[in-house]
A and B are shown apart, each in its own frame.
Chain A
Amino acid sequence: DGGITQSPKYLFRKEGQNVTLSCEQNLNHDAMYWYRQDPGQGLRLIYYSQIVNDFQKGDIAEGYSVSREKKESFPLTVTSAQKNPTAFYLCATQSYLSSYNEQFFGPGTRLTVL
């Protein structure tokens, strides 16, 4: 089954804990992105990676970290330094072979800090 998988779907974390969100794709897309969405708000870019072993900060990278060791995987770690991490986290991929470079999204992970 092709596509983008994110796990877990729901995640609960205690304050002060680091937590890692998984994003895996089998679309062979070059670029991968992490967005954060708060209730009633738009998407905000956290980090993105256009190639393996390289990634760039987005608009709200503070308190987050990523790695891109494989083309298929782009995990996001929410660290204890992130002041208000409760949100909906979306992973997306993008192929540079496509004429229009559209992005495709995984189903998302809802993180709640207790």
Chain B
Amino acid sequence: RKEVEQDPGPFNVPEGATVAFNCTYSNSASQSFFWYRQDCRKEPKLLMSVYSSGNEDGRFTAQLNRASQYISLLIRDSKLSDSATYLCVVNPASYDKVIFGPGTSLSVIP
């Protein structure tokens, strides 16, 4: 089993739709979790950290389920500008390298 796995995608959704991405991780002792966004031919950028209680930032909601070892990202009211690849990232422990998932591609269609 890979350390971090994501929905294979691609996701093609119309503007205004709600879309959810899932990510699973294998190390139950993992301590922190993130979602990054990567635009075509650009560097990944931090979208949001995922807190134990879940967190929301505008149209984006991240959830963590430690018991089932998965993280989700929900995007409401999708915009054309949301088209990108979304990377799930897990930090197994402090003072350790993070683990990147393979990414899920999203295309928002007019």
Which residues of A come within 8 Å of B, CB atoms? 31, 33, 35, 41-43, 45, 48, 50, 58, 88, 90, 94, 96, 99-108
Contact digits for B14-51, partner A, Cβ 8 Å, 1 yes 0 no: 00000000000000000010100000011111100100
Known interface pairs A50-B95, A96-B94, A108-B43; A102-B101 also in contact (CB < 8 Å): no
Question: Chain B contact residues: over half helix, strand or loop, or mixed?
Answer: loop
Complex contact A106–B43 (CB within 8 A): yes
Which residues of B have CB within 8 Å of A88?
Answer: 41
Q: Smallest distance from the beta carbon of B3 to chain A beta carbons, Å?
A: 11
B69: Cβ under 8 A from any A Cβ: no
- Show 12 A/B contacts (Cβ-Cβ < 8 Å), sorted by A: A33-B97, A42-B101, A43-B100, A45-B97, A58-B97, A90-B44, A96-B94, A100-B34, A101-B95, A102-B46, A103-B98, A107-B43
Question: Which single member of B41, B49, B98 contacts A94 (CB below 8 Å)?
Answer: B98
Known contacts: A106-B43, A108-B43. The answer to whether A101 contacts B91 by CB under 8 A is: yes
Q: Give the Cβ gap from B105 to chain A, nearest Cβ, in Å.
A: 9
Interface string of B75-103 (1 = CB under 8 A from A): 00000000000010101001101101111
Whether B49 contacts A100 by the Cβ 8 Å rule is yes
Nearest chain A CB to B53 CB, angstrom units? 14
With A102-B89, A105-B45 given, name 18 new contacts (CB 8 A): A33-B97, A35-B100, A41-B102, A43-B44, A43-B87, A43-B100, A45-B97, A58-B97, A90-B43, A90-B44, A96-B94, A100-B32, A102-B98, A103-B46, A103-B89, A104-B46, A108-B42, A108-B43
Set of chain B residues within 8 Å of A35, measured between Cβ atoms: 100
When distances are taken between beta carbons in the complex, the residues of chain A under 8 Å from B41 are 88
Instruction: Decide: B95 and A96 in contact? CB cutoff 8 A.
Output: yes
Q: How far is the CA of A88 from the CA of B41 in the complex (A)?
A: 8
Q: Which residue of A lies closest to B99 (CB)?
A: A45
Bound-state CA distance A12–B28 (Å) is 43
Q: How far is the CA of A96 from the CA of B100 in the complex (A)?
A: 18
Q: Which residues of A contact B87 (CB under 8 A)?
A: 42-43
